[in-house]
Amino acid sequence: MKAAPIAQLKKELLRLEHGELLEVCLKLARFKKDNKELLTYLLLLFEDEPAFANGLCKEIDEQFALTPNAHKKTLRKTIRWMNKCLRFTKVKDTEIQVRLHFCHALRSSETPIRSSRVVTNMYQGQLKKVRTVVDKLHDDIKHDVQQAIQRLML
């Protein structure tokens, strides 16, 4: 089955009654875990973005607490999870905060960053993503974030 274009889906959703729309959303939530997580963000966490960012940072801290000497596989899993959660939000400050927190947590952990080229590349990749987002921000905010990036440089 081929997926319909967004414009066509939008027209069909506009045509649905309230109860039918609710039923479609619940079916989506039951079908796939990612859909359920996105609905959770949109319905419960969307209005309190700082709490969402702090929750992601806490989860990162918990991951590093479970495995203080994280290996490549664990770090990749954490980065995939972080990327998935950050796709939900369009707030650039949240993305910057969470990615910088990940870098800080990685440096604070017992994980040897410099001894593994793969881990170094993952670390540098997160800093590169932060720099990419920072380039789109206002100059005042840009300066503060660039100082934080400089402190995290290897």
pLDDT > 80? residue 133: yes
* Residue of 132, 134, 111 whose CA lies nearest to 123: 111
pLDDT at 149: 81
Residue 128 has pLDDT above 80, yes or no: yes
Give the pLDDT of residue 142.
78
Do the domain assignments include residue 14? yes
What was the pLDDT predicted at 153?
75
Q: Is the dihedral of CA 105, 111, 112, 116 positive or negative?
A: negative
Kindly state the average pLDDT of the residues 24-29: 88
Can you give the residue range of the structural domain that contains 26? Answer: 6-44
Q: In this structure, is residue 1 part of a structural domain?
A: no
Would you state the pLDDT for residue 150? Answer: 81
Q: Is residue 106 part of a domain?
A: yes
Rounded to an integer, what distance in angstroms lies between the CA atom of residue 36 and that of residue 40? 6
Q: Which pLDDT belongs to residue 88?
A: 92
- pLDDT for 103 beyond 90: yes
Residue 94, sorted as left (phi over 0), alpha (psi -120 to 50) or beta, turns out to be: alpha
pLDDT higher than threshold 90 for residue 85: yes
Instruction: Tell whether 63 and 108 lie within a shared domain.
Output: yes
Instruction: Examine the domain organization and report whether 35 and 77 are in the same domain.
Output: no
Separation CA 24–CA 68 (nearest Å)? 42
pLDDT, position 154: 61
Q: How many domains does the chain have?
A: 2
